[in-house]
Amino acid sequence: PDGAQKILKIDQSYIVPVHYDDLDKAQNNPKLMTEIARKAGVAIMQNIDYALSGLYTSAGITDGSTSSVTDITSANVISTVADMSSAFDENNVPQDRRVAVVPPWFAQKLTLANIVRDTNNSPALMTGYVGSMMGWEFYMSNNVRHSSTTWYAPMFFRAGDSIALAEQINSVSVLQDKDYLGDFMRAHVLYGYKAVRPNALGVMYVAEGSESAI
């Protein structure tokens, strides 16, 4: 296959700095180092997750705008997702590997609508996985871009096709703190990202609607 070339710049950098004193190190090592490494990984993941959420401005499929926002309730969440599915179908985006990343309250609307019936709580807690609906695999993220509570920009895309991400842990170093009895540890990650197929990347501008009292 002969496809168009795209340039992906690896120009983003993120450093996780940690300081720990010798007493903690002596009493807890290696448990301390294991926990530090785990939390550093979470910090890196959150940083990249937030960066990727900014690609909503590159979406070729849009539903609404910052001045035209849909209030989402359990009554209309189905039809709203269906509209996005139709837009993807009209763009001839394959139906496999479709992913949606939504804020926590949107995931709650799905649950209230009794759509996501097979949610396994353990994967949801560990990875943000919410469930599947109408061919979409829903994941929850608190990094979905928004403007206060006026609008949110959940993203819809085809995994492994719409967005390109390249990342690498560039270095991990430990330096002795000359002023205190302790060490500094730094983890340095380099990464780059880009919307390579905007026609397979969608965003909808929504806000949390109130539910009718039962």
pLDDT value of position 125:
47
pLDDT value of position 165:
92
Cβ–Cβ < 8 Å for 40, 16: yes
Q: Give the integer Cα–Cα distance in Å for 156 and 3.
A: 23
25, 78, 145, 176 from 55: Cα distances, Å: 41, 24, 9, 39
Q: Is 60 helix (H, G, I), strand (E, B) or coil?
A: coil
Sheet of 206-208, strand order? 70-72, 206-208, 151-152, 146-147
Per-residue pLDDT 10s for the chain (214 aa) are: 555 567 788 888 887 776 666 545 545 566 766 777 777 778 888 999 999 999 999 999 999 999 999 999 999 999 999 999 999 999 999 999 999 999 999 999 988 887 665 555 555 545 667 788 889 999 999 999 999 999 999 999 999 889 999 988 766 666 676 666 667 777 788 899 999 999 999 999 999 999 875 5
The pTM of the full predicted model, rounded to 2 decimals, is: 0.77
List the beta strands (DSSP E) in the chain: 12-21, 61-63, 70-72, 98-102, 129-133, 136-140, 146-147, 151-152, 155-158, 163-177, 182-195, 201-204, 206-208
Burial class (CB in 10 A: 0-12, 13-18, 19+), 81: buried
Cβ–Cβ < 8 Å for 183, 160: no
Most distant CA atoms of the chain, gap in Å: 63
Residues 6+ apart with CB under 8 A from 200: 60, 88, 91, 93, 157, 158, 161, 162
